[in-house]
Every structure is written in C-alpha cells, then in structure tokens.
Amino acid sequence: MTSDEPQPAAALRSAQWYVGDDRNAYIHRAWSRRGLPPHAFDGSRPHIALVNTASDFTPCNRHLTEVARSVQNGVYEAGGIPLEMPAVSLGESLVRPTAMLWRNMAAMATEEMIRANPIDAVVLLGGCDKTIPSLLMAAASVDLPAIVLPGGPMKSGTFRGRPLGCGTDVWKLSEEVRGGSMSERDFLASEGSMISSRGHCNTMGTASTMGLLSEALGMTIPGMAGTPATDNRLLEGAHSTGALAVELVAERRRPSDIMTREAFVNAIVTLAAIGGSTNGVVHLLAIAGRLGVDLTQDDFDKIGAGVPLLVDLQPAGRFLMDDLYRAGGLLAVLREVQDLLEPGAVTVTGRPLVDYLETANVWDREVIRPRAEPLQDSAGIAVLRGNLAPDGAVIKPAAASAHLLQHRGNAVIFDSIEDMHARIDDPDLEVDADSVLVLRGCGPKGYPGMPEVANLPLPTKLLQQGVRDMVRICDGRMSGTAYGTVVLHVAPEAAAGGPLALVRTGDPIVLDVPARSITIDISDDELAARSPNPEAVEAFADPARGWQRLYIDTVQQADTGADLDFLVGSSGDHVPRESH
C-alpha cells in the first residue's frame, strides 16, 4: 500500500475519534475543523503530530517553527494531515536548577499528550540537549510510528580570526581569565561571536551527540543528522521527513521495530567513533528502559571502549560540526567501522542502516580519520568500579589527559556546588596539582536533577601555575562540550547512601582507567565505621512539594538512566475511555 492511497478507516487510530455519526464524533470533528476540509476527518488520511520543542527559552530550538512548516508540506504532499503539538522544551543554557531535572517530566508530558490525542504518527522536532532524549523516551513508551528530525548545529562563529566551539571555548576562555592569561575585557568581547546563528552547539556536545545517535538508532532519515541549522538541505530533509511519517503509518513501522538491541549496539559504536558526550550513556539507558531493551551501563564499555575515535572534533579534537558535515557526515564515519555494526538493525525507511554506507564518502581525512589512523585507538566510554563507585562511574578517555588516566592523589572534598564555589579560589585551600577534587551532592536525588557540574573549575592558584587538568570526581554529569579527566555519574550517589558521602579530605584516591577502577585507599572497616558529614546531609535536604518531590522519591540512579521508576516500560497507545 503506497503512502498516497487512502487508508481504510479501521487502520487509522485517529478514526476512533472522528469517524461516525454519533455525538462524540460530531464534537471531535466540529471543534477540530478550523478551516480543514471535511475529508481531513473521514478516516482516510493519517493525522501526523509535529511534536515541536521550539521555544524562545530554548534558543537552540527557536528555528524549529520554520522547520516545522517544511515538515507540514511533506505530510500534506504524502496525503496526511499535519497538526502541530507544542512540547515541553528544555533550554540547557537557561533552565534552573538543571534541565536534567525536567527531562523525565518532558518525556511524561509528551507521552501522555501523544496517547491522549487522535494521532497516527509523530514527527519529533528537537535539538538542544534534553529535547531529543525526552522525545525518544516518550515515543518509545507510546510506540506509535515516530521519526526524529534534529534541528542541527549552528554555523561556527569566529573571534579574532579563530573559529569558536560553543561550550568548549567558554570553559577554556573562562579558565584563561581565572588563570590570568586572558583579560576579562577580551573574554567578554568574544561573547557576541560565540553563538553565530540558529541551531545547537557546534561542538560534539550532548545536542550533536543525541542528534547523531538518533540516526544511529535508526530513528532519523539516514544522512540527515548533523545537517547545519542554516543549511537549506535541512528544510529539504524536513519535507522528506514529513512524507515518510505518512508512510510509517501505512507500513505500521513503530519505534519498537527500529530501536532494538542491535540498534543500541550501533549507537554505542557510534558514540565512541564520534567522541560523543558522556550524557549519551544516561540518555540511551533511559530510552532502552522505556522499550524493555536489555541494555546496561557495562555494555558501553564492552561494546564501545575498544572502538577508535575517528572524528577530530572539539572537545576531544580540533574541528566543529559544520566541518563534520562538510567532510561526509555520520554515514562516512560509520563506513569506517562498518564491521562493528549490527547489519540487521533497520531504520525508519525500512532499510538497514548499513545499506546507506556503501556510497558514503570521506571528503576530508583531517576531520574524519581513516580506521588505520584514528585520533585515538580506544576512545569509548570507560566504566569504572570500586569501593568509591560500587554501581559504577564513567569517564571519557577521549576528553581526558593521558598522564592522569592512572593517578593517585589526596581528596579535596566539596559537599555541594555552593561549597565548591565558596572555596575553590581560596588561596588557603590545601590543594596541589596531584590532588583529586571531589564534588558530591550533585546526583539525581542530591541536587536534585544531576547537573552538569562534574567538570568543576580548577583552583585559581593552580591555574596561575600553569595547571590545566586535574582528576575530578562527581556524582553529577558534565556538559558534552566539556573536557578533562573527570569521573562522573558515580553510583550510588552520595545522597542515596553511596560511599562518596563518606570520603574525607586527605583520603588517598586511586584512579586506574586501564584497570577500570576507582577506589579510596582505606580499609573496608574504616569506611564502614564512618558517617556522612552533617553539612553534606544538610545540603541534600528534600524540597517539600511539586515535581521535585515526586522526582526525588522515584528517580533511579545514573547507572540505569535516571528515569523515574514508574515510567520505565511502555503503556502503548490505547485509551479505553471516551471524554464525553
């Protein structure tokens, strides 16, 4: 059955609302007409929801309103009825206390609105860090036909002749100011160049990572992810996406048919090859949890740790996202590691992802390295365990300093983000280049919401001595645009009773990434005899009401994706009761 043929009424979910002569069908049609012709409601044309995260408070997604118009045109052309559905939008740079606190809420709200309305398929329009994960989590739980359209990265701005990597260069330049090698005036002068156009971060941060991973999962038209937000080919792809959404209904192709265990294997290989964000771990785990796919944190190490880093992009490398697109894009990268991919994993087009690799070419071998000449030989996410992180912690070797991957140093403890800000630049702080900075109280429960603070700033006095990296440990996350030797996602977190709550300043900490271990070098008896610092416990004080109350009571730990326990799994699309 082709996409432009009328569909039998019984085949369309939306027909349950609109088709019939009774009072309820009358109400649904009458209130929805608003200029649409009668045949829009006769049960022959699928209703496609454009789930749109455009918002002025999510600056990276603001342009999705324009992109949605091209999607609408594609839906109409293919014989569907496009209907825009605004979604909860999370702007990483603006939302307090952290956008991650609201990821699960956004997913839950989107899931319920998709299920509650007369929808046959959804086009998911996202870009900024948490928007694509929340949309995929929602679509997985409802399991109606769905397709992702990433909004794409911004074009690269320049400052004094040098391209700027947004996010990554913010961290770098601010450290140079604190270290005394850059003036505050020059730092502020770069602000107008940092964000040069529409679109999300142009580094391999979380937004770029999740856009590319949506393609690796099969949920995006192959070749679309990473298309710059300013490129007209994004609008052309949006048109094709809208048309394909209609076909998905006819073919009854659902997220559960696409995002299989094999697709997640491909996503993990992709995450390593592109040098993607550590946030990809927690998001992929949460999406898999909604589908019932057997995926664990350890899979990221087993499958991805030995994968070579092929993409020379900030923060692990030199270039930016528009360079990756120019050099051949994700498909060209995956062609280099095709032997590591699961060949049977299909995409939204119905064809396997690997079918699209044969004609993928690399046009710049500086940006996309040959398999035989990688940027790093084994650069995937490493999962660490030990008496400091019994349920695991992660580190991104590609963004770390090689000389610190095996390190022993004494802990300098910060009990909260406020404690860190108050003391990190104290000239009397007892710290040296070998110290291990430990920040706790930043996990899912403790903050709450697991903020991107794990890459805590280095002490000013050490920056002035030329130190630019130290081992840092945290139960929170870090921005995908960040870099450094950072152990993060420590589980259980301090606020959930993890050993991180028991560490004291001066304790020797041993990091051994090749051995996959992170330990406190004290006896088990001594550790068991300790109690958490009262100041740390006070910092974990629970809020009294609202979403934060529900979140703290039900959120899982980072090693399983930090979803809410009652949201794991799928409820499907069936709604048994009428509204009138």
Q: Where are the domains of the chain?
A: 9-155+197-356, 156-196, 382-541
Averaged pLDDT, 135-159: 96
pLDDT band at 534 (very low <50, low <70, confident <90, very high): confident
Residue 374's pLDDT is 96
Q: Are 474 and 454 in contact (CB under 8 A)?
A: yes
- Measured CA to CA, the distance from residue 278 to residue 489 in angstroms comes to 9
Neighbours of 186 (CB within 10 A): 13
> For the chain, what is the mean pLDDT?
94
Q: Is the pLDDT of residue 146 over 50?
A: yes
Res 2: pLDDT: 41
Q: What fold, for 382-541?
A: Glucose Oxidase; domain 1 (3.50.30)
pLDDT the model gives residue 538 = 73
Nearest of 207, 203, 107 to residue 151 by alpha carbon: 207
Contacts 24+ apart (CB under 8 A), 4-11: 4/78, 4/79, 5/79, 5/250, 6/44, 6/45, 6/79, 7/43, 7/44, 7/45, 7/46, 7/249, 7/250, 8/43, 8/44, 9/42, 9/43, 9/44
Is residue 10 over pLDDT 80?
no
Q: Is the peptide bond before 8 cis (omega within 30 degrees of 0)?
A: no
By the 8 A CB rule, do 48 and 78 touch?
A: no
Residues 58/88, Cβ–Cβ less than 8 Å? no
Residue 59 has pLDDT above 60, yes or no: yes
Residue 447: what pLDDT? Answer: 93
484/5: higher pLDDT: 484
Report residue 169's pLDDT band, with 50, 70 and 90 as the boundaries.
confident
pLDDT in tens, 14-24: 999 999 999 99
**Residue pLDDT, tens place only, 454-488:** 999 999 999 999 999 999 999 999 988 788 999 99
CA distance 161 to 155: 15
Residue 9 pLDDT more than 70?
A: no
Global pTM? 0.95
Band (pLDDT 50/70/90 cuts) for residue 426 is very high
Note whether 174 and 191 are within 8 A (CB): no
Predicted local confidence at residue 282, as pLDDT? 98
pLDDT at residue number 461: 94
Arithmetic mean of pLDDT, 449-457: 94
Q: pLDDT band for position 3 (50/70/90)?
A: very low
Instruction: Give the model's confidence band at 8: pLDDT under 50 very low, under 70 low, under 90 confident, else very high.
Output: low
> Is 90 exceeded by the pLDDT of residue 438?
yes
Q: Which segment of 56-65, 285-294, 525-534 scores lowest on mean pLDDT?
A: 525-534
Is pLDDT above 90 for 157? no
Q: Is the pLDDT of residue 311 over 60?
A: yes
Cα atoms in the Cβ-side hemisphere of radius 13 Å centred on 164: 24
Instruction: Say how many residues make up the chain.
Output: 580
> Phi/psi at 215 (nearest 5 deg)?
-70, -40
Does 356 have pLDDT greater than 70?
yes
* 497-526 b/e (C-beta count within 10 Å ≥ 16 → b): ebbbbbbeeebebbbebeebbbbbebeeee
Confidence (pLDDT) at 290: 97
Tell me whether residue 340 is exposed, middle or buried, using C-beta atoms within 10 angstroms of its C-beta: 0 to 12, 13 to 18, 19 or more: buried
For range 483-512, the mean pLDDT: 96
